[in-house]
Amino acid sequence: MTRPFYQTRTGVFALATLCCALWGSAYPAIKSGYAMLHIGVSDVASQMLFAGVRFALAGAILLVVAAALRRPIFDMGDRSFGQVALLGLTQTAVQYVFFYIGLAHASGVKSSILNATGVFFSVVLAHFIYSDDRLSTRKALGCMIGFIGVVVVNLRHGSFSFDFALLGEGFVTIAAFVLAAASIYGKHLSRSMDVMVMTGWQLLIGGLILTVGGVAGSGHLEGLNIASGALLLYMALLSSIAFAVWSLLLKHHMVGLIAAFNFLIPVFGVAMSAIFLGESLLRWSYLAALLLVCVGIWLVTRAPQRA
């Protein structure tokens, strides 16, 4: 019997790359959304509201699709619902709050680079949690090369200083750790839950928490029309698809293998931002970063040789 596509090596590369491309497209989409909805750079409450509506809508879409596919979206006990609620609180709400506060106090260059440390957190945590996902020299080398690729893709933005502040670089790093730990927790929950249902509920719950926080802080979404509504719908769809597919991959594969693809997100993000800003993609930093990231991913995902 042939294996499902998401369990094959080709399927892993194709689906993980798709998720990273979708998440990378969120960078220019968020910036466009801020402009269309008249959300200022310092208006944290409105930004939280924008993110909350996006993630809550993404979760609702997944749950509607799951119900249409006759998945049991309400068939879970109090314990299971509490676990999913905790996942939504951490993976969606807490992670986003830490990341945005850190982003407000650190440069975009350092935020992008430090956010990539989530790969290291995932690989190290998996080493201590799963006996079949140990950290090896090959994985460590692959992570290091991929991380260098993330640094290279950001070189065009200017110099990188090494100062470190808790509210800035510290919070970005904490956000990366929270996301890595929550992803492993989600892998654990997916063993006994339907992935689509689990992802739908965690996005909905996390989105509602962010929405309530944004409303409590007097956040607002002005200029909501067909164009901005379509953009918001696109962002909700990309979140629902990417999170559901990513959770499915984590359920059936080792954390270290899947986490390495996260290095592609800033590469796609910078490249797509360049496209929408009308810049040339033929920059040495883009090409070098893509090469380094691909080599890093290949090293991490390459099957170990048999003795």
CA dihedral 189, 27, 41, 175 (to 10 degrees): 30
Residue 204, pLDDT > 70, answer yes
Residue 230, pLDDT > 70, answer yes
Do 170 and 111 meet the contact criterion of CB atoms below 8 Å apart?
no
Q: What is the pTM of this model?
A: 0.84
Amino acid in position 307: A
The whole-number pLDDT of residue 286 equals 67
Find all residues with CB under 8 Å of 135, minimum gap 6, and list them: 123, 124, 126, 127, 256
The three-state DSSP-derived secondary structure of the chain is CCCCHHHCHHHHHHHHHHHHHHHHHHHHHHHHHHHHCCCCCCCHHHHHHHHHHHHHHHHHHHHHHHHHCCCCCCCCCHHHHHHHHHHHHHHHHHHHHHHHHHHHHCCHHHHHHHHCHHHHHHHHHHHHHCCCCCCCHHHHHHHHHHHHHHHHHCHHHCCCCCCCCHHHHHHHHHHHHHHHHHHHHHHHHHCCCCHHHHHHHHHHHHHHHHHHHHHHCCCCCCCCCHHHHHHHHHHHHHHHHHHHHHHHHHHHCCHHHHHHHHHHHHHHHHHHHHHHCCCCCCCHHHHHHHHHHHHHHHHHHCCCCCC
Distance CA 292, CA 286 (A): 10
The whole-number pLDDT of residue 138 equals 79
The whole-number pLDDT of residue 146 equals 80
**Between residues 105 and 129, which one has the greater pLDDT?**
129
Lowest-pLDDT range, 3-12, 193-202, 260-269? 260-269
Residue 136, pLDDT > 70, answer yes
User: Predicted confidence band at 82 (pLDDT cuts at 50, 70, 90)?
Assistant: very high
Distance CA 244, CA 203 (A): 10
Q: What are the tens digits of pLDDT across the range 156-191?
A: 555 555 566 787 778 888 988 998 899 999 998 988
Instruction: Measure Cα distances from 35 to 22, 23, 30, 157, 159 in Å.
Output: 20, 19, 9, 21, 27
Lowest-pLDDT range, 19-28, 47-56, 102-111, 113-122? 102-111
**Between residues 39 and 110, which one has the greater pLDDT?**
39
The whole-number pLDDT of residue 56 equals 96
Q: What is the mean pLDDT of the chain?
A: 83
Q: Left if phi > 0, otherwise alpha if psi is -120 to 50, otherwise beta: which for 278?
A: left
The whole-number pLDDT of residue 306 equals 43
Percent of the chain scored above 70 by pLDDT?
A: 88
Residue 307, pLDDT > 80, answer no
Of the candidates 27, 59, 50, the residue with the CA atom closest to the CA atom of residue 241: 59
**Between residues 145 and 200, which one has the greater pLDDT?**
200
Six token digits for residue 254:
């080792």
Residue 21, pLDDT > 70, answer yes
The beta-carbon contacts of 23-26 under 8 Å, at least 24 apart in sequence, are 23/238, 23/242, 23/265, 23/268, 23/269, 24/264, 24/265, 24/266, 24/267, 24/268, 24/269, 24/271, 24/272, 25/238, 25/268, 25/269, 25/272, 26/235, 26/238, 26/239, 26/269
Of the candidates 178, 200, 211, the residue with the CA atom closest to the CA atom of residue 98: 178
Six token digits for residue 114:
């430090």
Residue 255, pLDDT > 90, answer no
